[in-house]
Amino acid sequence: MTAARTRSVLVDRFGTGWSDAGPFPRTTAVEAEELLAALERAGERPPFVLVGHSFGGLLVANAARRRPDLVAGLVLLDPTPLEVIAFAPSNRLITGMRRSFLLAAVRHLFGAHRGRGGRTGQHCAAASIFAELSPSGLAGVGWETVVYDGDLGDLPLVLVIPRDLVGGEAVLAGARDAVEAERIRNFYLRTRVRYLAASTASRLVYTPEGTGHDFPREAPGFVVGVVEDLARELRVTSP
């Protein structure tokens, strides 16, 4: 039924899906430009409602900051907050993911990989983007990567986040005591809502009870409903 009401386009970023690995190094700034170029070269006509989850949320926010004339609205699904990359305590989940991508790339390269999943270029591309998403990596590219307070003007923006750190054991594991654990929990919850300040036309939507960061997979119908609601509003308000 969704296809009958609106057109959706899924873009395989370089190094994902069916796409080649693309040029290196992989950065958010480069990927934002590539996203817009892919839509243009595919013949898709703006304005677009851009939807992104996790790193994809950071990516589409960057695309909107660069070309607001092409974007009608944004739906950010628990987007990656750069404050977490820059200031949070060491997170085994993030560091472990980059390490696993590098190891997988090496194994593929030497024919030692077992099981399903990915190509050498895909794993190298993922490891490359994770190099930027580190305190030292972010220090060099922060100005080109951050989407800060007021950067998006009055662009309609819907921020969709869980109410709590469901499944957040990995980010709390390094806490020295209960006091620090509560500080970490508060930090992650506060940084989650920072994107609201990027636009004067933003609003917050909470995910269904019991869902965590992976809510697009856990509650896909809910996500479709949020996107359709914004698209419907934009149709009504557009001249």
Distance CA 139, CA 133 (A): 10
How buried is residue 194: exposed, middle or buried, by Cβ count under 10 Å (0-12/13-18/19+)?
middle
Task: With a cut of 50, say whether residue 1 has pLDDT above it.
Answer: no
- Give which of 64, 71, 78, 74 is closest to 28, Cα–Cα: 64
Q: For residue 39, is it within any domain?
A: yes
What are 78's two structure tokens?
């628990």
CB-based contact 154:71 (threshold 8 Å): no
Query: What's the domain range around 52?
Result: 10-234
Residues 86-128: tens digit of each pLDDT: 898 876 666 666 666 656 666 655 555 455 455 566 777 777 7
Distance CA 54, CA 179 (A): 27
Q: Looking at residue 96, what is its pLDDT?
A: 62
Q: For residue 87, is it within any domain?
A: yes
Q: For residue 177, is it within any domain?
A: yes
Beta bridge partners of 206: 161
Mean pLDDT of 6-34: 85
- Give which of 229, 228, 238, 184 is closest to 4, Cα–Cα: 228
When divided into structural domains, the chain yields a total of 1
Q: For residue 239, is it within any domain?
A: no
Q: For residue 1, is it within any domain?
A: no
| CATH code assigned at 28 | 3.40.50.1820
Identify which has the larger pLDDT, 78 or 14: 78
Q: For residue 164, is it within any domain?
A: yes
Mean pLDDT of 140-151: 94
Q: For residue 79, is it within any domain?
A: yes
Of 65-74, 93-102, 110-119, 134-143, least confident by mean pLDDT is 110-119
What does DSSP assign to residue 51? E
Q: Looking at residue 221, what is its pLDDT?
A: 97
Residues 177-190: tens digit of each pLDDT: 999 999 999 999 99
How buried is residue 209: exposed, middle or buried, by Cβ count under 10 Å (0-12/13-18/19+)?
exposed
Q: For residue 190, is it within any domain?
A: yes
